[in-house]
Amino acid sequence: MTRAQRVLTISAISATLYFLALFAILPLPFVSEETAEKVLPVLPWWLLVSFGAYAMWTLGWNVMTIRDCPEAYHELMNEISSAKNDLRARGVSVD
């Protein structure tokens, strides 16, 4: 089973269970009906906001802890200088 099939299967099962609970077809154990009526309609938005916060935290953390790569810097500078030399050989003025 590929990752996409697994995600699709889990998403379909989760959505089915959510809609069954939302429309009170499937009762939720240990949760009163009154609480379920208040919480279930906003659950997708809560999950979306939580995922967004997690994504922003992960992005921010990775930007803060970025590693320096001096070898890659020197390799890139060599490629830039060779590209400039190639362009100069072809008659293009390069700064």
pLDDT digits (tens, 9 = 90+) for 26-72: 888 898 989 999 999 999 999 999 999 999 999 999 999 888 888 98
Tokens of 86: 């190639």
The identity of residue 62, as a single letter, is: N
pTM of the model: 0.60
Contact 18, 25 (CB under 8 A): no
